[in-house]
Structure 1
Amino acid sequence: MVQSRFSFLVLLTFLCNARSQDFTAQLLKPGHECVRECKEGESPMFCHYKFTVELYQTLGAPCDLCHPDDKFTSKCPCILADGFERTLLAVNKMLPAPSIQVCAGDRIVVDVTNAMEGYDTTLHWHGLRQKNTQYFDGVPMITQCPISAGQTFRYQMITNEGTYFYHTHSGLQKFDGIEGSVIARLPRSQDGAAHLFDYDLPEHVVFVNDWMHTHIESKFPGLRTRSTAQQPKSLLINGKGRWTDASAGNTTTTPLEVFNVKKGYRYRFRMINSMTSACTLGMRVIGHNLTVITTDGELVRPQVVDAIHSSAGKYM
């Protein structure tokens, strides 16, 4: 009799778990569907992303057929970087990794599959508060075990408003390409800086990172007789840049990032300094002033400036 009752309880538990999983699956929406105008009173969305981290290359065969023009999906799996061919670590064959753009309060669910042979990895969510989700912060051997090769780990968290980014926290892998933006917007009626801009568009994210021409492991501790410097070869904006070979005097002709605006309107640009080797980054828009309205996810008193200087890991 006891055995029969135990079997019934186990069956009931399995049924409940199955129903719970089915219900969760029904709530999940592909991440790109969460890029939307945030409206007051709207229910939060469950935003699902599938990331595969793998060894990849710049200027690969797909670049003969297309050039990347999508920040959210790898419709064109071509990575140009600064026009120098090298291997890298890529998420979904993209550099930077896919941009996560949601409304504040949305729950993001990110399934990360490690397809890198011989590498462990994690994803750290830089700036997200992780209230009650501290075990998804992505710090290896502290908040989680690293994701082994061939394994998949699910991150889940509720987003707080602001401009942030994610990157690996395993070794020096961030330098080799595992990094991307996280934007969580408020409804315009709740945004304390809304009176200062007319448009806050998904394509107006400025993601800046430094770039080497070799895997970063070869730079630390470094070589004594050749390629001794640890400075980056170039800077990339949204994965695009150019490089000049000082010895030959040649400059690559890879496309640069272009931001489209209309005269007479005010646009909000979200800037992320994802530098690794450099101390500070200076940026200006020639012929224009900029108004700083947030930093590190918090509103600040608006400051009109002609240039911005920020340290690595800063976002505004």
Structure 2
Amino acid sequence: MSKENCTAILDFLLVAFPNQPVHQISLFLAICLVYITILAGNLLILVAIWVDTHLYTPMYFFLGTLSVVELCYTSSIIPQILETSLQEVKSITFRNCCAQMFLFIGLGSCDCFLLAIMAYDRCMAICKPLRYTLIMTQQLCIQLVATAVLSGFMVSLTLVWLVFHLPFCDGHDIEHFFCDVPPVLQLTSKKTKLEEVGVFLTAMMAIVVPFVLICISYLFIAVAILQIRSVDSRQKAISTCSSHLTMVALQYGCCSFMYLQPSSSFSPMQDQILSMVYTLGTPLLNPIIYSLRNREVKSALRNLIP
């Protein structure tokens, strides 16, 4: 069968969902509750930043952008999961699967690049405090965000092309809740080592490159903090970075396990768990981390919620 015929007739079946109606309803309610919490938490952060003029700084501009990206990121996946969980035939078309992966990977990559930008922002604030406002101008902040979004979707476009240009003749059962790269890649036939390396290198562009930039930024931050003599000033500098470091650890921990491993070591159950943690846990915990560990955000939220 030709490559075109293999893909043209294909509808994927998402087989990770439970078969029993009681379990399906329980899954629907659990995911729905988490999704509503994610929407509420990130929207609260956005409204707090919008209303409180004290938060009109580059740091909170990037935080607000991160919240927007994560709202879009979860909304590209969760509504489909909720709908599919209650359907008798849990299927998704080839085109919808392709579009879903493009949005999911693109927005997830934007997350990684934004975390690198936020690390650079903290580096400038701590290492060059007197020149900070001159360096981190509004124009530069917008350019950095635009670069993050463009880079994220360029990585996604490349990755999706590498996966979906292959023929799908070996099966159509995706052992997952949505169209993620590892389980879809398992279904491709005539997959070569060159294409596996291409997928791996593309994933590295979205994960390793931003992570290296974050490490470099924090190397400069560590040197600058060690040179601060005042204990209070040193603790304040560390506290401004603690929330960001927690987010980085959560984001890159899941990403590395999911995408930086050879396809031969693919484990459906492990991938499903990590994907749900990554898809639901990170957007859920980010606003909680920033609201609990950031004095200015807590103050803005207290003023917002009587």
After TM superposition, the score normalised by the length of structure 2 is: 0.27
Structure with the largest fraction of strand: 1
Structure with the largest fraction of helix: 2
After TM superposition, the score normalised by the length of structure 1 is: 0.26
Bigger relative contact order, structure 1 or 2 (CA pairs below 8 A, ≥6 apart): 2
